[in-house]
Amino acid sequence: MNTVQAPIPDTTPLTGINADEALWYKDAVIYQVNVKSFLDSNDDGIGDFKGLTLKLEYIRDLGVNTIWLMPFYPSPLKDDGYDIADYQNVHPQFGTLDDFRTMLREAHRLGLKVVTELIINHTSDQHPWFQAARNAPAGSPQRDFYVWSDTDQKYLDTRIIFTDTETSNWTWDPVAKAYYWHRFFSHQPDLNFDNPQVIKAVLKIMNFWLDMGVDGFRLDAIPYLVEREGTNNENLRETHAVIKKLRAAIDASYKNRFLLAEANQWPEDVREYFGDGDECNMAYHFPLMPRIYMAIAQEDRYPIIEIIQQTPDIPESCQWAIFLRNHDELTLEMVTSKERDYMYTTYASDLQARINLGIRRRLAPLMENNLDRIKLMNSLLLSMPGSPILYYGDEIGMGDNFFIGDRNGVRTPMQWSPDRNAGFSRADPQRLYLPPIMDAVYGYLSTNVEAQSRDPSSLLSWTKRLLAVRKTTQAFGRGTRRFLRPGNRKILAYLREFGEDTILCVANLSRSAQPVELNLAAYKGRVPVEMLGRTAFPPIGELPYLLTISAYGFYWFRLATDAAIPSWHEQIVSVDERPVLVLFDGWMSLFRERVVPWRIGIAEKTRAQFETDTLPRH
């Protein structure tokens, strides 16, 4: 098998979008876009590629460098496009292939990478492959494109993912007169990756989009590609063999492309999807996400440190993808039952907010619209090991509407302005694919891009500043991570180091101000420079370094060797204060002892007369 040996990471400061093109994804900040939700250019109530193209400069100016596009392929849209009916075209609602090409060229001109969604575990039951399979004889090449059985009693050790809608992973097809296998909804039959023709067909699809210029694929639901009796049909050895074939074929024909694994598994299982650097370039760290929320709620760093310590090392050329929210529910599959109950009680007391094993809410409502907590969460996202993913609208604190149904409450139109339909579309409101958020707190009249662009203290302006600061060093994307262990457990502190850059991150997980003493003796003599304000703090000495942090506050420090010590800081503090002279009676206070006795004898004179008499005469 042919593999590509990853180059040694470049340790020079980041000067462009990426200093090392082969590992560009390690420096990526990814912006997740739902095309239909972003901007409607033809006033039909649905976002499209022409609308997205018009907003590419907004995405670029936000400070991200990569776009992840949710499914835009022809589809019955029973699962928001994750039920694909044609892999090599664009859904008419979103435009045409030419519209996609135009968007892709403009994104590349602006320095933005584009990653598309590729769902290869299953198709729609409307896909021509499935229609041919159900009508073909049993055992024929067409039938074998999918997984069939005469009984629904096979693979009984396999869990059902959508327990609120599905009772079995098998569905009877009256045309084929057999059961077909599906790990997700019953209208999404699984492809048969034991069939070499399926792998060949998938590679043809990949080549189609890679030839067009896309920079990578997010591989949806890849732990379930292959089935074997007596297993739970997740993370099988045969599944990894399929991924290796796909990666080798891509590397043999294309440069600087990447694969992102969507595997909602424990870290030790996800580690296998990197292989020896010959499977996926990136993979999501699903278990970290809910534990960030737990740490904030419990005001204790333990949940974060505990899951990071469980995370195995990955190949040098690979990277984690980390996130706070996305288009799905805040999944609670990778937590214990006790932790799940705690998360439900804390963040989803309203039962309507729960779906499957998760919570269908956006970041801002989860944080009760507390701006300090939202900023703290984003500071952790942007400084933890991995490439961060921002969900569209979270940069302005968009809300949700979990009464809409399914997970559509977090997929509402982008709020551009206080105009009709949030500036998303000029269509009649009843024609919109979903209603925009209209409540008093998160509604588009109060929460929108236009208003926040004019406000230097808004969440949008702050997000741009934080992303700009993150770009100044590769330590966040490529650096090592080492936790500090201060006695105050409400404080999370860690070092990110890459080359000569050392970044100290300190976060207060508590709702009240907290002190902390950090053991930084190994960096004695360095000057911590706060990165957002470029303020130099006193140099590090041998004693523990004392900081006080406001409620939900955080610091990013560059431990500089070349920064000047603050001018006000000296080893021996000298008091050099001049006396203060208070003139309580105007300038006459200077002569008070001399003139007051005289005034006693002339009390019948008014103050004005006295002052007139005492003025010098010329």
Residue-wise pLDDT for 23-71, tens only, equals 999 999 999 999 999 999 999 999 999 999 999 999 999 999 999 999 9
Instruction: Find the mean pLDDT for residues 179-191.
Output: 97
Helix or strand or coil: residue 138?
Answer: coil
Q: Model confidence over 343-376: pLDDT tens digits?
A: 999 999 999 999 888 999 999 999 999 999 999 9
Other CB atoms within a 10 A radius of the CB of residue 290 amount to 24
Helices 237-253, 196-212: axis angle to 10 degrees equals 40
- Positive/negative CA dihedral, 564, 570, 576, 577: positive
Any idea which of 80-94, 170-184, 202-216, 555-569 has the lowest mean pLDDT?
555-569
Euclidean distance between CA atoms 162 and 241, whole angstroms: 27
Euclidean distance between CA atoms 307 and 115, whole angstroms: 28
Task: From 547, 561, 556, 473, select the one nearest 515 (Cα to Cα).
Answer: 547
Euclidean distance between CA atoms 22 and 282, whole angstroms: 13
Most confident of 73-77, 575-579, 610-614: 73-77
Strand partners, 554: 507
Contact 113, 18 (CB under 8 A): no
Element (H, E) at 461: helix 459-470
Q: Based on the residue annotation, tell me whether 262 is a catalytic residue of this protein.
A: yes
From 20, 215, 262, 329, active-site residue: 262
Q: What is the pLDDT of residue 591?
A: 64
Contact 535, 557 (CB under 8 A): no
From 220, 272, 278, 395, active-site residue: 220
**pTM: predicted TM-score of the whole model, two decimal places:** 0.88
Euclidean distance between CA atoms 410 and 98, whole angstroms: 29
Q: What is the pLDDT of residue 381?
A: 97
Please give the structure tokens belonging to residue 372. 């300090």
Q: Model confidence over 471-515: pLDDT tens digits?
A: 999 999 999 999 999 999 999 999 999 999 999 999 999 999 999
Q: What is the percentage of the chain residues whose pLDDT exceeds 90?
A: 83
Bridging pattern class, strands 387-391 and 319-323: parallel
Residue whose entry in the numeric block shows the structure tokens 């998938």:
202
Please give the structure tokens belonging to residue 228. 């074997």
> Rounded mean pLDDT of the chain?
90
**Secondary structure (H, E, C), 396-422:** HCCCCCCCCCCCHHHCCCCCCCCCHHH
Q: What length does the chain have?
A: 618
Q: Model confidence over 266-322: pLDDT tens digits?
A: 999 999 999 999 999 999 999 999 999 999 999 999 999 999 999 999 999 999 999
Indicate if the pLDDT at residue 590 is higher than 80: no
- Positive/negative CA dihedral, 89, 93, 94, 98: positive
Bridging pattern class, strands 527-530 and 554-560: antiparallel
pLDDT band of residue 592 (cuts 50, 70, 90) is low
